[in-house]
């Protein structure tokens, strides 16, 4: 009886185990499925938390670095003021700002005795060298009448340079020259294919009569008609207008103005001065050095009796590569509209233009 009772007890437990095993397998299977479904969410939460912490840390480091850079970056005006308090022979450090618009100083001779580009260049460079050698200029160019143009990184820079001349130049020099820091120029737009019979006043009045946004409440125009350019089709002219800087973006967005019974297409007009004699930038043929000889617009060589064009070669890009260590391609004409040197000149003009920002 004891054996029979023990057998029944074992059988009963074994039966219960058989009943439990499928349930355990179901629970195990459901748990695995649930874990698989939840696993991406769990990983994402962990990763996002780690990423968020990394981003916060990086942002804090970036803010601190910007603060350090802002503290270290000083304008020439600040350096010039500091230089007055430094002992002789100690040069202050200088880092020109890059985000500000360029500054330009025009030095214009007042009489014929000072109308010499080379003499004026040497005179004022020597004054800067002797009094503030820390000055950093982006360029020195020629202007009409024998004057020179100094270009600095910002308006503050050029104003400080002007003050150096005002303080260090003797009375005789100051009496012979005008020192002018011009305001930034207004932006220009070009209107295409206007009938050749239309003159400046007719164009102005016609535009005002058909485009209400071209004038203010008192009918004062937001533009000025400057000059015309002959179009390829001899029946038309293109007209260049200077516009109110605050209205520039609005006008460009329109892409055209109504005139008479047409809609004239418009575009931004940026045209660097380029000599058609030596093909250099910054002056016109009229103001080119009389000693310069006519050059070939394709190869850049002097056009003499025995000249043979050796194929496209841009002397401006070649000069830029040599002087500024650029890497411009040179196998194109000096008048190529896609010339890198030409595009650089356009960028400089835009930096000196007031777009109302």
For residue 274, give the DSSP letter.
B
Residue 48 lies in a domain: no
How does pLDDT run across 99-136, given as a tens digit for each residue?
Answer: 467 788 999 999 888 888 889 999 999 999 999 888 88
Cβ proximity of 272 and 335 under 8 Å: no
Residue 20 lies in a domain: no
Element (H, E) at 236: strand 236-243
State whether 167 and 200 are in the same domain: no
Residue 133 lies in a domain: yes
From CA 133, how far away is CA 130, in angstroms rounded? 7
Structural domains of the chain, count: 3
CATH number of the domain where residue 164 is located: 3.30.70.260
**Residue of 139, 143, 147, 154 lying closest to 273 (CA atoms):** 143
Which parts of the chain register pLDDT below 50? Answer: 1-3, 7, 67-99
Residue 82 burial (10 A CB sphere; 0-12, 13-18, 19+): middle
State whether 166 and 128 are in the same domain: yes
Helices 340-351 + 315-324 axis angle, to 10: 70
How does pLDDT run across 40-83, given as a tens digit for each residue?
Answer: 665 556 555 555 555 556 555 555 555 444 444 444 444 444 44
* pLDDT at res. 95: 34
State whether 192 and 263 are in the same domain: yes
Torsion of CA 102, 249, 271, 228, to 10 degrees: -140
Query: DSSP string of 284-305?
Result: -GGGS-TT---B-TTT--B--T
State whether 171 and 229 are in the same domain: no
State whether 207 and 262 are in the same domain: yes
Query: Which of 133, 155, 180 represents a domain boundary (last residue)?
Result: 180
State whether 201 and 170 are in the same domain: no
How big is the CA angle at 107 (ends 189 and 130), to the nearest 5 degrees? 135
State whether 162 and 234 are in the same domain: no
From CA 334, how far away is CA 313, in angstroms rounded? 7
For residue 166, give the DSSP letter.
H
Cβ proximity of 297 and 334 under 8 Å: yes
State whether 147 and 116 are in the same domain: yes
Q: Is the pTM for the entire model greater than 0.85?
A: no
Residue 56 lies in a domain: no
From CA 109, how far away is CA 121, in angstroms rounded? 12
State whether 260 and 194 are in the same domain: yes
Expressed in percent and rounded to 5, the helix, strand and coil fractions of the chain are 45, 20, 35
State whether 108 and 151 are in the same domain: yes
State whether 161 and 224 are in the same domain: no
Residue 19 lies in a domain: no
From CA 41, how far away is CA 88, in angstroms rounded? 68
Domain of residue 126 covers 103-180
How big is the CA angle at 122 (ends 116 and 295), to the nearest 5 degrees? 60
Residue 156 lies in a domain: yes
Residue 47 lies in a domain: no
* pLDDT at res. 145: 84
Query: DSSP string of 5-69?
Result: HHHHHHHHHHHHHHHHHHHHHHHHHHHHHHHHHHHHHHHHHHHHHHHHHHHHHHHHHHHHHHHHH
State whether 132 and 165 are in the same domain: yes
Residue 294 lies in a domain: yes
From CA 352, how far away is CA 281, in angstroms rounded? 16
- Residue whose token pair is 């990983």: 43
* pLDDT at res. 17: 62
* pLDDT at res. 42: 58
* pLDDT at res. 34: 60
């Amino acid at each position: 009886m004891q054996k029979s009772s023990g057998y029944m007890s074992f059988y009963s437990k074994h039966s219960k185990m058989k009943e439990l095993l499928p349930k355990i397998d179901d629970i195990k299977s459901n748990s695995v499925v649930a874990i698989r479904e939840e696993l991406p969410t769990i990983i994402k939460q962990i990763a996002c938390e780690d990423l968020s912490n990394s981003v916060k840390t990086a942002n804090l480091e970036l803010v601190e670095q910007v603060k350090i850079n802002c503290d270290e970056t000083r304008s020439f005006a600040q350096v010039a003021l500091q230089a007055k308090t430094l002992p002789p022979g100690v040069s202050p450090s200088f880092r020109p700002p890059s985000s500000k618009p360029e500054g330009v100083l025009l030095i214009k001779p007042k009489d014929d005795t000072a109308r010499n580009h080379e003499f004026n260049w040497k005179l004022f460079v020597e004054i800067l060298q002797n009094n503030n050698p820390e000055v950093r200029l982006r360029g020195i160019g020629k202007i009409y009448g024998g004057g020179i143009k100094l270009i600095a990184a910002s308006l503050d820079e050029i104003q400080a340079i002007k003050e150096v001349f005002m303080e260090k130049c003797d009375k005789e020099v100051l009496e012979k020259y005008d020192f002018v820091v011009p305001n930034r120029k207004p932006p220009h737009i070009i209107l295409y294919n206007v009938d050749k019979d239309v003159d400046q006043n007719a164009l102005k009045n016609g535009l005002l009569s058909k485009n209400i946004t071209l004038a203010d409440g008192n009918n004062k125009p937001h533009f000025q008609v400057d000059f015309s350019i002959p179009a390829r089709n001899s029946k038309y002219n293109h007209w260049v207008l200077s516009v109110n800087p605050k209205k520039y973006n609005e006008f460009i967005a329109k892409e055209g103005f109504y005139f008479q019974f047409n809609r004239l297409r418009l575009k931004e007009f940026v045209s660097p001065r380029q000599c058609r004699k030596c093909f250099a930038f910054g002056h016109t043929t009229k103001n080119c050095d009389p000693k310069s000889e006519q050059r070939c617009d394709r190869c850049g060589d002097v056009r003499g009796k025995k000249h043979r064009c050796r194929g496209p070669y841009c002397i401006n890009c070649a000069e830029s590569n040599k002087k500024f260590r650029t890497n411009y391609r040179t196998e194109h004409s000096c008048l190529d509209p896609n010339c890198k040197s030409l595009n650089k000149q356009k960028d400089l003009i835009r930096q000196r233009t007031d777009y109302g920002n």
